[in-house]
């Protein structure tokens, strides 16, 4: 599922409600991290199937998902009332892709609305007058409608109805890589992934919950997707221990906005740890299509033993004329200095953990204007509650 358009953030608040939101944003913002846990507790109590079958229980337990929701709402509201605030279109695009990879539909936004506003009243009490509630109601539905419209476009791009993205797939290949990583090939009625996209894999755990996790696609077509899974968390552990060749699991049609573009300018792929998986998918595409695009690959890992996809990535690099690959290992106290390898006019793709991506973003921001990349795209393997501008 992929469209070249971005979410439409041109909608505006009514003037009266804009004044109210501007005045109450500091109060709402100051309490948003108190509001969101109460919201989730209310929602999961009323709809236990959501925590069982849709939301990632690990992210909920760690508090990451509530923080991500809080950041997205506060950021969107700020854009509506501050003309100098950045447009959160990239944030909304990432959220939209995550939603379609989980089969989220329009009716679920009403569930979120009802429980979120009940939580706001619980925390702020009499401060939430009918006027304040009405203003923030407009904020919520403006953001929801932006996402719903974008998500319906994504569903339509693959010719499916909203939410109809899950497929029964069969594991036709399974083998281990270094670094506690296992590769799976999933076969079924799927769709062709764009290089860099992911699929959500769902398994039925022993307590009856259907849990989902996104995995970047190394390569695939309309009938096969290949993913690399590092053993961490409920779903990955279940796949490793309980799912073998010939078994069936659920997988969604590919989604994700970290997609290799079709330009011919230099491309720089930067990853850390298992963040190498979408980069491997991009390298697979560049190698198999005979691309002559200048390619630089930078990867950081603990040590050589933990770099799961080293041989695969190096093999693809060798097939691309002029491509280069640099590796840095933390046990050797080595770090990536992107300025050393960034050609003029490059498009940069980043994938890794929060700290790694923040460090690379800081390096890029510090570059002089004449050395700045043409564009920077990123993906991180956790709810993106901080890297949202």
Query: Is 224 an active-site residue?
Result: no
Q: How far apart are CA 197 and CA 222, in angstroms?
A: 14
Phi, psi of 228 (to 5 degrees): -115, 130
Q: Which two tokens stand for residue 142?
A: 């403006």
Q: How far is CA 297 from CA 29, 81, 200, 303, 388, in A?
A: 40, 41, 26, 17, 25
Contacts 24+ apart (CB under 8 A), 77-83: 77/21, 77/25, 77/28, 77/136, 77/139, 78/25, 79/9, 80/12, 80/13, 80/18, 80/21, 80/139, 80/142, 81/13, 81/18, 81/21, 81/22, 81/25, 82/22
Give the active site residue among 40, 109, 184, 215. 109
Tokens 């281990």, located at residue: 176
Q: How far apart are CA 217 and CA 254, in angstroms?
A: 8
Element (H, E) at 183: strand 181-187
Tokens 């699929």, located at residue: 199
**DSSP letter (8 states) at residue 233:** S
Give the active site residue among 151, 155, 184, 379. 151
Q: How far apart are CA 216 and CA 218, in angstroms?
A: 6
Q: How far apart are CA 120 and CA 103, in angstroms?
A: 27
267-272, strands of its sheet edge to edge: 324-329, 295-301, 267-272, 347-352, 375-380
Query: Is 109 an active-site residue?
Result: yes
- Contacts of residue 334, Cβ cutoff 8 Å, sequence gap at least 6: 300, 328
Residues recognised as catalytic: 109, 151
């Amino acid at each position: 599922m992929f469209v070249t358009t971005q979410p439409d953030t041109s909608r505006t608040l009514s003037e009266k409600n804009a004044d109210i939101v501007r005045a109450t944003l500091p109060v709402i913002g100051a309490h948003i991290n108190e509001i969101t846990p109460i919201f989730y507790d209310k929602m999961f109590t009323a709809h236990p199937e959501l925590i069982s079958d849709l939301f990632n229980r690990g992210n909920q337990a760690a508090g990451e998902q509530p923080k991500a929701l809080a950041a997205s709402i506060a950021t969107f509201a700020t854009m509506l009332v501050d003309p100098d605030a950045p447009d959160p279109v990239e944030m909304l695009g990432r959220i939209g892709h995550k939603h379609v990879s989980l089969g989220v539909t329009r009716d679920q936004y009403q569930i979120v609305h009802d429980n979120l506003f009940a939580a706001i009243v619980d925390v702020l009490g009499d401060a939430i007058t009918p006027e304040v509630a009405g203003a923030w109601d407009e904020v919520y539905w403006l953001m929801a409608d932006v996402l719903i419209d974008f998500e319906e476009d994504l569903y339509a791009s693959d010719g499916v109805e909203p939410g109809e993205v899950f497929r029964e797939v069969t594991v036709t290949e399974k083998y281990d890589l270094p670094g506690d990583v296992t590769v799976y090939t999933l076969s079924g009625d799927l769709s062709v992934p764009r290089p860099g996209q992911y699929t959500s894999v769902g398994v039925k755990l022993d307590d009856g919950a259907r849990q989902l996790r996104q995995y970047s696609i190394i390569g695939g077509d309309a009938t096969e997707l290949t993913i690399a899974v590092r053993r961490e968390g409920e779903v990955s552990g279940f796949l490793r221990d309980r799912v073998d060749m010939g078994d069936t699991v659920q997988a969604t049609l590919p989604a994700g906005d970290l997609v290799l573009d079709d330009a011919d300018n230099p491309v720089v792929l930067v990853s850390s740890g298992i963040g190498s998986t979408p980069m491997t998918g991009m390298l697979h595409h560049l190698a198999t299509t005979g691309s002559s695009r200048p390619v630089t690959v930078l990867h950081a890992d603990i040590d050589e033993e933990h770099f799961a996809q080293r041989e695969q990535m190096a093999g693809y690099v060798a097939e691309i004329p002029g491509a280069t690959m640099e590796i840095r290992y933390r046990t050797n106290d080595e770090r990536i200095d992107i300025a050393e390898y960034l050609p003029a006019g490059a498009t940069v793709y980043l994938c890794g953990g929060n700290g790694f991506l923040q460090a690379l973003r800081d390096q890029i921001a510090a570059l002089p204007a004449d050395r700045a990349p043409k564009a920077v795209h990123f993906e991180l393997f956790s709810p993106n509650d901080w890297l949202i501008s």
